[in-house]
Amino acid sequence: FSAQIDVATAAPLCDVPRRIFGTFVEHMGRSVYEGVYEPGHPTARPDGFRADVLALVQELGATTVRYPGGNFVSGYRWEDGVGPKDARPVRLDAAWHSIETNEVGLHEFAGWAAEAGLELMYAVNLGTRGMQEAADVLEYANIPSGTALSDLRRENGAEEPFGIRLWCLGNEVDGPWQIGHKTADEYGRLAAETARLMTFIDSRVELVAAGSSNAEMPTFGDWERTVLKHTAGLVDHISLHAYYEESDGDAVSFLASGTALDRYIEAVAAVIDDAGAGPGSERPVGISVDEWNVWYQRRWNEIDKPRVLTGEWPVAPRLIEDSYSVTDAVVVGSLLGSLLRHADRVTMANLAQLVNVIAPIRCEPGGPAWRQTTFFPFQRTAALATGSVVVPAVEVDSIDTAVHGTAPLVDAVATVDAGAGRVALFVTNRSLDDAAAVRIRFDQPGLAVVSAEVLTVPEGGDRHTVNDETAQPVGMRALDGVQLTAGVLEATLPALSWSVVVLS
Ligand code: AHR
Verify that 105 and 240 share a domain, yes or no: yes
What pLDDT does 346 receive? 98
Instruction: Give the residue-averaged pLDDT of 35-41.
Output: 97
Interface ipTM above 0.95:
yes
- Total domains present in the chain: 2
Q: How far apart are CA 211 and CA 238, in angstroms?
A: 6
Residue 82 and residue 24 share a domain: yes
The pLDDT value given to residue 305: 83
Q: Are 36 and 78 in contact (CB under 8 A)?
A: no
Q: Answer yes or no: is pLDDT of 298 > 90.
A: no
446 and 308 share a domain?
Answer: no
Taking residues 426-438, what's their average pLDDT? 98
pLDDT in tens, 156-181: 999 999 999 999 999 999 999 999 99
Please tell me which residue in 38, 79, 100, 172 is annotated as part of the active site.
172
- Residue 192 alpha carbon to ligand 1 centre in Å: 23
Q: What pLDDT, on a 0 to 100 scale, did the predictor assign at position 311?
A: 75
Which domain-ending residue is among 384, 407, 423?
Answer: 384
Residues 145, 98: contact at Cβ < 8 Å? no
Which of 23, 26, 76 best tests ligand 1's pocket when mutated (most atoms within 8 Å of CB)? 26
Pair (248, 274) in one structural domain = yes
Tell how far CA 50 is from the center of its chain: 22
Tell whether 372 and 461 lie within a shared domain. Answer: no
Helical H segments across 117-147, by residue range: 131-142
Binned at pLDDT 50, 70 and 90, residue 30 comes out as very high
* C-alpha dihedral (168, 173, 179, 182), degrees to nearest 10: 130
107 C-alpha vs ligand 1 centroid, how far in Å?
A: 23
Pocket lining: 26 vs ligand 1, CB cutoff 6 Å: yes
Q: Give the other-Cβ count within 10 Å of 433's Cβ.
A: 6
Closest by CA to 417, choosing from 12, 88, 101, 78, is: 12
Ligand 1 centre from 481 Cα, in Å? Answer: 42
Domain of 406 in residue numbering reads as 3-8+389-503
Is pLDDT of 218 > 80? yes
Do 76 and 31 reside in the same domain of the chain? yes
353 lines ligand 1 (CB under 6 A): yes
| pTM (two decimals) | 0.97
Any ligand 1 atom below 6 A from CB of 70: yes
Coil, helix or strand for 167? strand
CB-based contact 156:149 (threshold 8 Å): no
Between CA 441 and CA 93 the distance in angstroms is: 54
Task: Please report the atom of ligand 1 found closest to the CA of residue 172.
Answer: 8
Active-site residue 172, yes or no?
Answer: yes
79 Cα: distance to centroid of ligand 1 (angstroms)? 22
**Which of 100, 108, 133, 291 does the annotation list as catalytic?**
291
Interatomic CA distance for residues 11 and 388, integer angstroms: 9
| Burial classification of residue 44, based on how many CB atoms lie within 10 Å of its CB (0-12 exposed, 13-18 middle, 19 or more buried) | middle
Residues 47 and 30 in one domain: yes
Q: What is the CATH number of the domain that holds 78?
A: 3.20.20.80
